[in-house]
Amino acid sequence: MDRAERAVEIKHSGSNCCQAVLLAFADELGRDEDTLRAMGAAFGCGMGAFDATCGALCGAQLILGLKKFGGSPVLADAKALHGSFKAACGSTDCGELKGIKTGKMLCSCDDCVRCAAKLAEKLI
């Protein structure tokens, strides 16, 4: 099973979108699962509970930092990740993605998780 599908499976087992993306990369991140769950715990329903950035995207950004940070910022990669996610999913805002703010769903949680995992895998 690839990481994207593994992330969706983890999400369906009770983790939020951010945790699911992080846990799908546990073998790459050098952190135990409890630590990764704690890192992603505040990003269920996106940052700010539907008010801001998608939790799956937050998870991918955390992976980027954990894998690539070497004392200097990883801003170019972070910007590219953000732009690629937005292009693929239609927004980076959880409330917009779920249709809570607009009445029209742009991307399901499962597809956001898949997208974030695939993008993170490309960057690391």
Give the count of domains, the chain. 1
Domain extent for 47: 3-123
- Among residues 113, 119, 13, 9, which one has the least CA distance to residue 56? 113
Confidence of residue 49 (pLDDT cuts 50, 70, 90): confident
Per-residue pLDDT, 47: 79
Distance in angstroms (rounded) separating the CA atoms of residues 1 and 73: 32
Average pLDDT over residues 5-24: 97
Report residue 87: phi and psi, to 5°: -65, -40
Per-residue pLDDT, 46: 81
